Structure 1
Amino acid sequence: MKKCNVFLVGAGPGDKSLLTVKALNLIKRADVIIYDKLVDKDILKDVKENCEMIYVGKDAYKHTMKQEDINDLIYQKSKESMVVRLKGGDPYVFGRGGEEALYLVDKGVSFEVVPGISSSIGGLTYAGIPITHRGLSQSFHVITGNARNNQETDTDWKSLAKIEGTLVFLMGIGNIEKIQDNLIANGKSPDEKVAFISMATRYNQKTYTCKLKEAKNCVNLNNIKAPSLIVIGEVVDLHDKLNFFESRELYGKTVLVTRTRSKNSEYRQILEEYGARVFEVPTIKVAKKKESEEILIKYLKNKIYDYIAFTSHNSVKYFFEILLDKKFDFRELRGIKIGSIGPATEKELNKYGIFSDVMPKNFTGKDLAFDIHKEIEENKIRDCKILYPCSEISTDNFTSVFDCSVQIDRIEVYTNSVNTNSRDYLIDVLENENVDYISFTSSSTFTNLYEMLGKENESYLNNIKKVSIGDITSNTIKKAGFEIELQAQKASIESMVEKIIEDAKKDR
Structure 2
Amino acid sequence: MSQRVDVEAPDNAGPDDVAGRLCHGRVVFVGSGLSSADQLTRAGLRALSSATMLVTTPELREMLDEAGVEVPDKDATRFVGDLPDVARFVVEAAGDDQSVARFVRGDPLLEGNIADEVSAYIDADLMLDIVPGVPSLTSVTTLAGVSFPGQSVQLISLPYRAKTAEIPAAGSLAVGCYSSQAAMVARAAVEAGRTPDEDVLITFHGGTLRQHSEMSTIGTLMGKKSPIEPGDDRVSIVFGKASHRPEGMNWYESKPLFGWQVLVPLTRDRNEELIERLSLHGAHCTEVPTIDVEPPRNAAQLDRAIRGLVDGHYQWVIFTSVNAVRAVAAKVAEYGLDARSLSGLQIAAVGDGTREYLSTWGLIPDLAPTDVHTVAGLAAEFPAYDDIVDPMNSVLVPRAEIATEPLSEGLAELGWEVDDVTAYRTVRASPPPAPIREAIKSGDFDAVVFTSSTTVRNLIGIAGKPHAATMVAAIGPATAVTCEEHGLDVAVISGAPGQIELADSLAYGARRRAKALVEAGKPVKRPSQRRRRRTNKS
Counterpart for residue 156 of structure 1: 166
Shift of 1:48: 5.2
Tell me, yes or no, if structure 1 residue 298 matches structure 2 residue 308.
yes
Counterpart for residue 410 of structure 1: 420
Q: 1:224 to 1:459 in 2, by over 3 A?
A: farther
Aligned residue type for 1:233: G
Shift of 1:438: 1.9
Counterpart for residue 243 of structure 1: 250
Q: 2:56·2:103 contact (CA, 8 Å) conserved in 1?
A: yes
Distance, in Å, in 2 between the alignment partners of 1:484 and 1:265 is: 23
TM-score (normalizing by structure 1): 0.78
Q: 1:52 to 1:117 in 2, by over 3 A?
A: same
Among 352, 357, 361, the alignment partner of 2:367 is 357
Counterpart for residue 326 of structure 1: 337
- Residues 447-485 of structure 1, C-alpha deviation per residue, up to 9 Å, x if partnerless? 5444543xxxx2555543333223444455555554444
Distance, in Å, in 2 between the alignment partners of 1:411 and 1:371 is: 21
Q: 1:431 to 1:133 in 2, by over 3 A?
A: farther
Distance, in Å, in 1 between the alignment partners of 2:303 and 2:433 is: 31
Distance, in Å, in 2 between the alignment partners of 1:467 and 1:275 is: 16
Counterpart for residue 442 of structure 1: 452
Aligned residue type for 1:161: A
Q: 1:178 to 1:472 in 2, by over 3 A?
A: same
Distance, in Å, in 2 between the alignment partners of 1:224 and 1:252 is: 24
1:33-44 alignment runs, 5 A limit: 33-36=54-57, 39=60, 41-44=62-65
Which one is further off, 378-387 or 461-470? 378-387
Distance, in Å, in 2 between the alignment partners of 1:433 and 1:145 is: 39
Q: 2:26·2:128 contact (CA, 8 Å) conserved in 1?
A: yes
Q: 1:78 to 1:429 in 2, by over 3 A?
A: farther
Counterpart for residue 133 of structure 2: 116
Which one is further off, 351-360 or 108-117? 351-360
Distance, in Å, in 1 between the alignment partners of 2:47 and 2:303 is: 38
**Identity rate, percent:** 19
SS at match of 1:167: strand
SS at match of 1:93: helix
Q: 1:264·1:280 contact (CA, 8 Å) conserved in 2?
A: no
Q: 1:38 to 1:123 in 2, by over 3 A?
A: farther
Shift of 1:276: 1.6
Counterpart for residue 208 of structure 1: 214
Q: 1:89 to 1:422 in 2, by over 3 A?
A: farther
SS at match of 1:116: coil
Q: 2:268·2:323 contact (CA, 8 Å) conserved in 1?
A: no
SS at match of 2:275: helix
1:421-460 alignment runs, 5 A limit: 423=433, 426-427=436-437, 430=440, 434-450=444-460, 452-453=462-463, 458=464
- Residues 33-77 of structure 1, C-alpha deviation per residue, up to 9 Å, x if partnerless? 333376383323434554455444xxxxxxx569x6444444455
1:360-379 alignment runs, 5 A limit: 361=371, 363-372=373-382, 375-376=383-384
Q: 1:360 to 1:72 in 2, by over 3 A?
A: closer
**Matched residue count:** 480
Gaps of 5+ in 1: 57-63
Gaps of 5+ in 2: 1-21, 516-538
Aligned residue type for 2:455: T
Among 441, 457, 473, the alignment partner of 1:467 is 473
1:43-442 alignment runs, 5 A limit: 43-45=64-66, 46=68, 47=71, 49-56=73-80, 69-75=85-91, 78=94, 82-130=99-147, 132-134=148-150, 137-144=151-158, 146-148=160-162, 152-153=163-164, 155-157=165-167, 160-162=168-170, 164=171, 166-216=172-222, 220-221=226-227, 226-238=233-245, 240-259=247-266, 263-285=270-292, 292=302, 295-299=305-309, 301-305=311-315, 307-316=316-325, 319=328, 326-327=337-338, 329=340, 332-333=343-344, 336=346, 338-349=347-358, 352=362, 354=364, 356-357=366-367, 359=369, 361=371, 363-372=373-382, 375-376=383-384, 384-392=393-401, 396-399=405-408, 401=410, 406-413=416-423, 416=426, 420=430, 423=433, 426-427=436-437, 430=440, 434-442=444-452
SS at match of 1:221: coil
Superposition CA RMSD, Å: 4.1
Q: 2:175·2:236 contact (CA, 8 Å) conserved in 1?
A: yes
Q: 1:228 to 1:284 in 2, by over 3 A?
A: farther
Shift of 1:92: 1.3
Q: 2:375·2:404 contact (CA, 8 Å) conserved in 1?
A: no
Tell me, yes or no, if structure 1 residue 12 matches structure 2 residue 33.
yes
Shift of 1:17: 0.8
Counterpart for residue 60 of structure 1: none
Distance, in Å, in 2 between the alignment partners of 1:218 and 1:240 is: 30
- Residues 93-146 of structure 1, C-alpha deviation per residue, up to 9 Å, x if partnerless? 23222222223334454443222111111221122123x421xx2243323164
Distance, in Å, in 1 between the alignment partners of 2:431 and 2:101 is: 28
Shift of 1:21: 2.6
SS at match of 2:207: coil
Which structure would you say has the larger Rg?
A: 2
Distance, in Å, in 2 between the alignment partners of 1:27 and 1:52 is: 12
Distance, in Å, in 2 between the alignment partners of 1:491 and 1:333 is: 32
Q: 2:443·2:469 contact (CA, 8 Å) conserved in 1?
A: no
SS at match of 1:270: helix
Shift of 1:500: 0.7
Aligned residue type for 1:12: G
SS at match of 1:250: coil
Shift of 1:15: 2.6
Shift of 1:293: 6.3
Aligned residue type for 1:435: F
Distance, in Å, in 2 between the alignment partners of 1:29 and 1:424 is: 38
Counterpart for residue 61 of structure 1: none
Q: 2:314·2:393 contact (CA, 8 Å) conserved in 1?
A: no
Shift of 1:217: 6.0
SS at match of 1:376: coil
Aligned residue type for 1:156: E
